[in-house]
Structure 1
Amino acid sequence: MESFEERAKSYRSESERFQEYLKGLPDEAWGRQSACDEWKVADVVAHLVGNSEFYAGTVARGLQGESSPPEGRPDAGTGHPSLSAAALAKSSIAARERLGDRLLSTYIEKDNHLIQLLTGLSPEDQVKPCYHPGSIVPAANFVDLRFKEVVLHQWDIQSAIEEKAALS
């Protein structure tokens, strides 16, 4: 198994590559239907903004010894994506509308903040328990969660734009 440092390096690299990809998208691409049923490309990016904020907040709270659910979130271990899919779709669309032409810059700002937080975890902080709807997890797990999320949603976007999109 790769070390935390190796996984963190892969996560940073993939996230930065994805940021560059998004910077190069033509304006018309942002309105295309993505591989996510209810979302256009811009909605996928808005979802990633929201998850950057959530992950950063829940890890920061965990580092302070707080692993209870944030307000409005289910108890750890009781959440499942299928239970909140409709609400998530709507909230991501609303976020995209609210952010407007600040969507890309906000994504990059929030993503970079999360990258710095997660890749900078000390060995002591890596094991601190943090809230996640699926369960209480060590802070280091968010590196893997975010890496998978970025790769998956990058494909969701690329497959709408490129004829031969592949997972990284």
Structure 2
Amino acid sequence: MTDQADQTIKVLRAGLDEFAALVNGFTEEDLARVSGASEWDVSQVLSHLGSGAEISLAALDRALSGEGTPQMDFIRGVWARWDGMSRAERAAEVVGVNEALVSRFEGLDEAARRDLRVELWFPVPAPDVAGFAGMRLSEFAYHTWDVKVAFDPAATLSPEATELMADGIASLIGFAGKADRLGGREAAVEVRTTAPERSFGLEIRDAVRIADVPGAPDAVLAAPAEWWLRLVSGRHAPEHTPDGVRLTGDALTLDDLRAVFPGF
């Protein structure tokens, strides 16, 4: 998995460089704008990205030293510190703490990238470096979009992040999808994405899950992969949906799919 780790770390670096250039130009008015996460202003997204980077760095450092996962007292303290910052303070600190995390990833040798396991502060198996960096990339990519879309309604996830995230979305579907939002209806959807090109099934029954392409789908969704990823994460409002998104078939509408994936 070292190749996957290497590529993910490179994409994290490219994303951070773009993010830093964006944040460094923000004014107080920019920081107060409503973000793509509608309950947060831009500075609150920066707070989330800052605290997440600080906690992730602690987890990585503790894995390297064999100390285990960060404790909740530490994590709550990090959240409280970022919550208590002014907007300007969040903007001033967010790039530096993300730089520290990405630099630590970049400094891992081949053995660590292959063998290290990072114990997390919630009950899941400890991921390897590729998996842990992938989790951070997903969080960073989505929340960078939350920032960018405050200034550009047509903002998209980066192509490099989309390429890496596209094949890992299945593990999120069961958590993100809410089958009961269809009011008892069921559907088998064929999903076709571009950039990268993928074809697979989406079952909405007792739960929501990725499946094989259905032989007789109730609907066919054709969309850029980056919008598919945003759909699953709840970043799918009509004003942020590109013209290339098409849903055919009478069983579902795009608004039905938006309801199934309300965000988190």
TM-score of the two chains, using structure 2 as the length reference: 0.52
Partner of 1:163: 153
Q: Is the CA contact 1:31–1:42 (under 8 Å) kept in the aligned structure 2?
A: yes
Maintained 8 Å contact 1:32/1:41: yes
Residues 26 and 71 of structure 1: CA distance in aligned 2, closer, same or farther (over 3 Å): closer
Matched, 1:48 2:49: yes
Which of the two has greater strand per residue?
2
2:10 maps to 1:22: no
Which digits, 9 at most, give the CA deviation of each residue in 1:66-114, with x for residues without a partner? 224523489xxxxxxxxxxxx9xxx47x724424422222111101100
Whether 1:103 and 2:93 are equivalent positions in the alignment is no
Q: TM-score if structure 1 supplies the norm length? A: 0.78
Whichever residue aligns with residue 136 of structure 2, its letter is R
1:142 is matched with: 132
- CA change 1:17–1:141 in 2 (3 A) is same
| CA distance in structure 1 between the aligned counterparts of 2:86 and 2:29, rounded to whole angstroms | 17
**How much has 1:7 moved relative to structure 2?**
2.1
- Structure 2 unaligned residues grouped into runs of 5+: 159-264
Which AA in structure 1 matches 2:89? R
Aligned to 1:117: 104
Count of residue pairs brought into register by the alignment: 152
**Pairwise CA RMSD of aligned residues?**
2.5
Distance 1:17 1:109 in 2: 14
1:98 is paired with a residue of what secondary structure? coil
How far apart in 2 are the matches of 1:45 and 1:16?
A: 15
CA distance in 2 between counterparts of 1:51 and 1:29 reads 22
CA contact (8 A) 1:52 1:110 kept: yes
SS of the aligned residue for 1:39 comes to coil
Q: Percent identity?
A: 22
Unaligned runs of 5+ in 1: 75-86
Any idea what the Cα deviations from partners look like across 1:128-163, whole Å, max 9, x if unmatched? Answer: 221222522223423212222221111111222213
Of the two structures, which has the highest relative contact order with CA contacts closer than 8 Å and spacing of 6 or more? 1
| Residue pair 1:52, 1:111 contacting (<8 A) in 2 also | yes
Q: Partner of 1:25: helix, strand, or coil?
A: coil
Relative to its length, the structure with more helix (as a share) is 1
Aligned to 1:154: 144
Deviation at 1:6? Answer: 2.3
In structure 2, distance between residues paired with 1:3 and 1:131: 19
Structure 1 residue identity aligned to 2:88? D
CA separation in 2, counterparts of 1:134 and 1:29?
37
